[in-house]
A and B are shown apart, each in its own frame.
Chain A
Amino acid sequence: NAGVTQTPKFRVLKTGQSMTLLCAQDMNHEYMYWYRQDPGMGLRLIHYSVGEGTTAKGEVPDGYNVSRLKKQNFLLGLESAAPSQTSVYFCATSRGGNEQYFGPGTRLTVT
């Protein structure tokens, strides 16, 4: 059981480049989330999904897109990276209305 995995673990982008972060889970959870964590800001919800084929905006969705084509995968895309998107990104899953299980995080630096 891998739980929740994230790919890649680290990435450096130049301003304007695009990339996709992959979150995969083998917990059969319906709900999946993308957060960003910045110093002093705690965890902020970017986008989330309540099931395959669904997505919804969180607290800080601008500059990001997501897709949930398969139940086990939740993709976070940056179409045109900006330095303000330098952060640590976490994926999480849950059964809904309950505790969340987190991936190991992706450290993204945009120069």
Chain B
Amino acid sequence: AQTVTQSQPEMSVQEAETVTLSCTYDTSESNYYLFWYKQPPSRQMILVIRQEAYKQQNATENRFSVNFQKAAKSFSLKISDSQLGDTAMYFCAFIGMNRDDKIIFGKGTRLHILP
């Protein structure tokens, strides 16, 4: 069974710093998707970034980028020039490529951006 592990329950960084959130996963599949979701205090779950496993190039969305290491089954999220609005819970997630595969979420990392 697939699992997703986020080893950092909580982190704090100063505004404008760069922060990296860790995520590892376990699967026997070769093709799959990985995601990072953000959940701010408003509770809304927002998709931050997605990565297809068959793409070697790391995904980037503005200040958010990932370091995808397929062999190591690692998928970390880097937030550059962090802003107060980045304060949120961040969830790493995995899903296989079959239509009926269900998404597997990690337990989350609570990130505090300090002024």
Contacts and interface: CB of A to CB of B under 8 A. Distances in A.
Interface in A66-107: 88, 90, 92, 94, 96-102, 104-105, 107
Contact of B47 (A97, A99, A104): A99
Contacts of A97: 33, 95-101
Contacts of A40: 107
A48 interface: yes
A61 to B, nearest CB: 13
Nearest to B43: A105
B103 interface: yes
Interface residues on A, range: 20 to 34
A45 interface: yes
B28 interface: no
A97 B95 CA distance: 7
Interface string B28-60: 000001010100001111110010000000000
A65 B104 CA distance: 22
Given A97-B101, A98-B33, A99-B33, A88 B107 contact: no
Contacts of A100: 103
A45 B42 CA distance: 21
Contacts of B101: 97
Given A43-B105, A98-B33, A101-B47, 18 more contacts: A33-B102, A40-B107, A42-B91, A43-B91, A45-B102, A48-B102, A50-B99, A94-B103, A96-B99, A97-B97, A97-B99, A97-B100, A99-B33, A102-B37, A102-B44, A104-B44, A105-B43, A105-B44
Interface of B: 33, 35, 37, 42-47, 50, 91, 95-103, 105-108
22 contacts: A33-B102, A40-B107, A42-B106, A42-B107, A42-B108, A43-B91, A48-B102, A50-B99, A90-B45, A96-B99, A97-B96, A97-B97, A97-B98, A98-B33, A99-B33, A99-B47, A102-B46, A104-B42, A104-B43, A104-B44, A105-B44, A107-B43
